[in-house]
């Protein structure tokens, strides 16, 4: 019973409230689905081929019976959570996979099984019930493999604090599920490739090591062999004195396949021993390892008792070593979750919450729109894109460019006819186009260029109008109605060009509003706002814009030409002079005597009355056209676009409008969708768990920074760990050695007899860590120091890292300890 007492004492040292709290926190974080956020958690995973003895190992560790039906295999992972407690309790649930939908997760979380004692625990029935629940939730049939996890929480007085994930046994074929081997391999390898998983690779001593798939997967996913503990089962089934016995003996000594964590050997409960109690099973195992070749192995590397101690200590050390990186990962997850919550904003279930939310959004919209109309682009919202195109957010720039394109089109394509003089003078081509950018010419390509017509032909057309429109009085009087008729024919494209321009501006405004609103609120509110408020108002404004255009066209479509421009007569006079001079130059030139001997009126007079009147009408129409087109362009851009659409654009959504909004409209716009409410609840729940876990982990990190282990929780003394292939040669086997408290004290006291040569400056130069940490170049002096006799052989040893409290990378290996002298 001494061994049981030693085991109990050691396990008690690993059961402090802080350590149990740490393990519980890791388990809780795992249950909350932190893997969904790519956060790996420290864990022990049990892997092995089918019939490798995994069940026997788990039976020995947990003291639960894990018999399985012949020919069947587990189709999902099982998480075993062991905790010491005075009351025995076995509680089983299912943790749904992240790939399950909400309804399936809800159904799986209802699965519960409770057992009052280990004797009442029925593992085969539990497996069948869990499989049936997983299958019914997804509609699957047969022995389908699942990513869900069966969780068994077992509390009892003689249990270690330990969490182990048992994976399905690796198989090579399945009688009814051809895909089963591949699915199991993928499941096992997904767990193994997680760098925070300690792999417990279980192999069967009755099969060749090379033929056991689990070791091949270890080589693939733990090539450094730093996080695998090998477990050998069924050593009693090997023929004594055989070559196989020697091979597995060397393997157990860490001489064939070298793992940093070493190997451990356990003896399974045989068929004839199936009725043994747990204590009888353990005693039979102890007696086996006292005989034969296995008696030569260190006691810390054989038996289920030492394995239970080793796993408890191993998991605790592993969690502590991963605390800093785990805390950082959780901190990042907290930041991400808080950002997601911030994006969702405050809850909006009540009318006052909805009104406050929408008032804030309205204020933001008004400010951005004021800046957009003034062309002040300092807010990040207006940041330019990588393309050359003007961003929709820069509304004033876009409207200005569209107005320039409109003006360019009006001056180039606004007239129906391009009137050509026989003398080479073009009547309508002298507008200054240098003002317009090249890009402005592309907006109105669908409009045709003016039709070219000679002046003489156009005058014939005017004469026909004169003949059908003669008034009373002198024949030389110009009919104002004919001027209006000719002008309306010439300005016919104005309306279509303006309509195209107004539509382009409305599209630009729509794009801006969509960009502005979608960037400041969630999608549900954006669509509600567009549906209930913005789109109807934009349609009303566009209708008002069309009405304003028709109003602006009335003077040119329905009224006779009229102008009070004092420069009209002067421009008319200059037009006549220019045309006359062009014609005179074409006919041989005009000298000063000719100009003095002939009056201007005589030079302009034609042969008939109608010729004279037609020329007068054409010149007046041309002059009036030039005066009117500039006015029309200004009216369309200012009176229509600015006054009817652009100027009061911020009033589309402003705080005053929201304050006056009735509750029905408010709810239709600002109420949250069910999806948003569910997402917020999920994020809040996740944030609470993350923050609670972070507080516990921070406390553990703080404690470990001062003293990684308390006095009542001494660490195992680990031999130097090979980190390179050269260092991992069989001549220097290593293994995990768990020492008792007395052994550690005896070992530490022996250091008082060691004469340590001070560390040289040369050693400090080779180790920058000493310089960086400003650590003393000599280890602490022992109060009892003896002098090494001359000629005594030098010994190589490794000082206790835990005693000196030096970092892990300061541990001198057996090969590199030349600077330490006895």
Q: What is the pLDDT of residues 77-128, one digit of tens each?
A: 999 988 888 889 999 999 888 788 888 988 999 999 999 888 899 888 898 8
Pair of tokens at residue 120: 């009442």
Q: How far is it, in rounded angstroms, from Cα 787 to Cα 781?
A: 13
182: Cβ contacts below 8 Å, ≥ 6 apart: none
**pLDDT of the residue at 433:** 47
DSSP H stretches of helix in 671-752: 674-706, 741-750
User: With left for phi above 0 and alpha for psi between -120 and 50, is residue 805 left, alpha or beta?
Assistant: left
pLDDT of residue 154: 92
Query: Could you tell me if 174 and 142 are in contact, meaning their C-beta atoms sit under 8 angstroms apart?
Result: no
Q: Where in the chain is the domain with CATH 3.40.50.300?
A: 1-18+45-52+59-63+183-271+281-322
Helix (H) or strand (E) holding 542: helix 535-557
pLDDT of residue 718: 42
Q: Just give the CATH number of 1-18+45-52+59-63+183-271+281-322.
A: 3.40.50.300
Cβ distance 651 to 657 under 8 Å?
A: yes
How far apart, in whole angstroms, are the C-alpha atoms of residue 495 and residue 477?
31
Residue 292, phi-psi category: left (phi > 0), alpha (psi -120 to 50), beta (remainder): left
Q: Could you give the angle at the alpha carbon of 220 between the alpha carbons of 217 and 221, nearest 5°?
A: 85
Using CA atoms, how far apart are residues 529 and 374, in angstroms rounded to an integer?
Answer: 25
- What pLDDT score does 473 carry? 64
Strand pairing category for 717-718 and 451-454: unpaired
User: Over the chain (822 residues), what is each successive 10-residue block's mean pLDDT?
Assistant: 48 61 78 71 90 87 72 77 88 88 88 91 90 84 77 87 88 77 88 92 91 92 94 92 92 93 91 82 91 92 92 86 84 90 85 90 94 94 82 94 94 91 53 48 81 88 80 67 89 95 95 93 88 92 94 91 86 81 61 45 47 83 92 96 92 90 89 85 85 77 53 40 40 42 43 43 44 43 46 45 41 38 32
CA distances from 98 to 147, 334, 676, 822 (A): 9, 19, 19, 58
SS3 417: strand
d(CA 384, CA 387): 8
In b/e form, how buried is each residue of 196-216, taking b as 16+ CB within 10 angstroms?
Answer: bbbbbbbbbbbeebeebbbbe
Within 13 Å and on the Cβ side, how many CA atoms surround 186?
9
Question: CB-side exposure of 68: number of CA atoms within 13 Å?
Answer: 18
Phi, psi of 205 (to 5 degrees): -70, -15
Q: What are φ and ψ of residue 748, in 5° steps?
A: -65, -35
Report the 3 state secondary structure along 639-671.
HHHHHHHHCCHHHHCCHHHHHCCCHHHHHHHHC
Domain 354-670 fold:
1.20.120
Q: Which residues of 107-146 are buried (b: 16+ CB within 10 A; e: fewer)?
A: bbeebebebeeeeebebeebbebbbebbbebbeeeebbbb
The Cα 553–Cα 632 span in angstroms is 8
What's the 3-state SS for 599-636?
CHHHHHCCCCHHHHHHHHHHHHHHHHHHHHHHHHHHHH
Chain centroid, CA 311 distance in Å:
36
From the centroid of its chain, how far is CA 80? 32
Distance of CA 577 to the CA centre of its chain: 74
Joined together, the tokens standing for residue 752 give 């008082």
CA-to-CA separations, 464 to 415, 499, 624, 762, in angstroms, rounded: 21, 32, 21, 115
Pairing mode, if any, of strands 149-156 and 77-84? parallel
Half-sphere exposure of 639 (CA within 13 A, CB side): 15
User: Looking at residue 776, what is its pLDDT?
Assistant: 44
- Give the residue range(s) of CATH 1.20.120.1240 domains in the chain: 354-670
Pairing of the two strands 149-156 and 89-95: antiparallel
**Are 178 and 201 in contact, with CB atoms under 8 Å apart?**
no
Can you tell me whether residue 727 is helix, strand or coil?
Answer: coil
Q: Is the dihedral of CA 209, 210, 215, 219 positive or negative?
A: positive
Q: What pLDDT is attached to residue 588?
A: 58
Q: In a 10 Å sphere around its CB, with 0-12 CB exposed, 13-18 middle and 19+ buried, how is residue 580 labelled?
A: middle
* pLDDT the model gives residue 810: 39
Give dist(CA 67, CA 69) in Å, integer: 7
Rounded CA separation 713/42 (Å) = 20
pTM of the predicted protein model = 0.55
CA distance 281 to 274: 9
Q: Supply 318's token pair.
A: 């592993």
């Amino acid at each position: 019973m001494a061994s049981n007492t030693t085991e109990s004492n050691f396990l008690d040292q690993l059961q402090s409230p802080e350590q149990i709290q740490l393990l519980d926190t890791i388990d809780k974080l795992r249950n909350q689905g932190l893997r969904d956020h790519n956060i790996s958690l420290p864990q022990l995973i049990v892997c092995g081929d089918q019939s490798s003895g995994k069940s026997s190992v788990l039976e020995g560790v947990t003291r639960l019976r894990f018999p399985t039906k012949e020919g069947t295999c587990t189709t999902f992972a099982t998480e075993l959570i062991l905790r010491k407690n005075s009351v025995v309790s076995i509680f089983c649930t299912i943790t749904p996979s992240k790939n399950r939908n909400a309804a399936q997760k809800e159904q799986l979380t209802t699965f519960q099984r409770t057992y009052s004692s280990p004797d009442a625990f029925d593992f085969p029935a539990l497996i069948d019930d869990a499989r049936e629940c997983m299958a019914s939730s997804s509609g699957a049939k047969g022995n389908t493999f699942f990513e869900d996890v069966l969780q068994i929480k077992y509390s009892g007085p003689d249990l270690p604090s330990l969490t182990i994930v048992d994976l399905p046994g690796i198989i090579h074929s399945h009688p009814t599920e051809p895909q089963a081997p591949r699915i199991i391999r993928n499941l096992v390898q997904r767990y193994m490739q997680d760098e925070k998983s300690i792999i417990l690779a279980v192999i069967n001593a009755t099969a060749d090591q090379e033929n056991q798939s689990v070791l091949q997967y270890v080589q693939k996913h733990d090539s450094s062999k730093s996080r695998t503990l090998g477990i050998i089962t069924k050593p009693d089934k090997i023929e004594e004195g055989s070559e196989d016995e020697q091979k597995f003996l060397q393997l157990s000594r860490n001489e064939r396949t070298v793992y940093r964590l070493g190997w451990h050997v356990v003896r399974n409960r045989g068929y004839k021993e199936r009725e043994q109690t747990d204590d009888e099973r353990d005693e039979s195992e102890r007696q086996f390892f006292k005989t034969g070749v296995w008696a030569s192995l260190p006691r810390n590397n054989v038996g289920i008792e030492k394995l239970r101690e080793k796993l408890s200590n191993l998991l605790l050390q592993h969690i502590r070593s991963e605390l800093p990186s785990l805390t950082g990962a959780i901190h990042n997850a907290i930041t991400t979750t808080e950002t997601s919550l911030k994006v969702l904003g405050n809850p909006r279930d009540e009318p006052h919450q909805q009104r406050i939310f929408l008032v804030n959004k309205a204020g933001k919209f008004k400010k951005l729109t004021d800046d957009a109309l003034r062309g002040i682009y300092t807010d990040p919202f207006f940041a330019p894109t990588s393309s050359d195109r003007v961003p929709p957010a820069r509304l004033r720039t876009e409207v200005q460019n569209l107005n320039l394109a409109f003006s360019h089109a009006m001056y180039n394509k606004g007239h129906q006819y391009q009137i050509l003089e026989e003398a080479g003078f073009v009547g309508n081509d002298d507008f200054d186009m240098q003002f317009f950018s090249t890009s402005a010419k592309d907006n109105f390509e669908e409009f045709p260029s003016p039709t070219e017509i000679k002046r003489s032909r156009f005058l014939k057309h005017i004469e026909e109008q004169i003949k059908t429109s003669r008034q009373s009085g002198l024949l030389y009087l110009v009919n104002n109605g004919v001027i209006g008729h000719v002008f309306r024919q010439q300005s016919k494209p104005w309306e279509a060009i303006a309509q195209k321009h107004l539509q382009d501006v409305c599209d630009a405004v729509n794009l801006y509003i969509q960009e502005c609103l979608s960037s400041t609120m969630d999608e549900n509110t954006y669509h509600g706002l567009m549906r209930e408020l913005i789109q109807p108002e934009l349609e009303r404004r566009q209708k008002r814009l069309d009405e304003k255009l028709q109003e602006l066209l009335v003077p040119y479509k329905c009224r006779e030409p009229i102008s009070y421009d004092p420069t009209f007569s002067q421009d008319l006079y200059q037009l006549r002079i220019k045309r006359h001079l062009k014609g005179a130059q074409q006919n041989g030139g005009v000298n000063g005597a000719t100009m003095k001997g002939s009056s201007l009126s005589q030079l302009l007079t034609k042969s008939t009355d109608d010729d004279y009147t037609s020329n007068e009408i054409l010149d007046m129409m041309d002059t009036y056209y030039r005066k009117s087109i500039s006015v029309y362009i200004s009216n369309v851009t200012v009176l229509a676009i600015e006054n009817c659409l652009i100027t009061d654009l911020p009033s589309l959504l402003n705080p005053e409008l929201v304050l006056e909004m009735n509750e029905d409209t408010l709810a239709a716009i600002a109420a949250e969708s069910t999806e948003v409410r569910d997402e917020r609840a999920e994020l809040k729940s996740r944030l609470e768990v993350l923050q609670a876990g972070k507080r516990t982990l921070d406390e553990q990190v703080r404690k470990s920074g001062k003293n990684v282990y308390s006095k009542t929780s001494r660490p195992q003394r680990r031999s130097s760990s090979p980190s390179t292939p050269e260092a991992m040669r069989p001549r220097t086997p290593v293994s995990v050695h768990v020492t008792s408290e007395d052994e550690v004290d005896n070992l530490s006291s022996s250091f008082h007899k060691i004469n340590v040569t001070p560390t040289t400056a040369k050693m400090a130069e080779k180790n920058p860590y000493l310089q960086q940490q400003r650590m003393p170049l000599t280890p602490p002096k022992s109060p009892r120091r003896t002098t090494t006799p001359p000629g005594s052989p030098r010994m190589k040893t490794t000082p206790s890292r835990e005693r000196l409290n030096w970092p892990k990378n300061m541990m001198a290996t057996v090969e590199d300890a030349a600077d330490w002298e006895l």
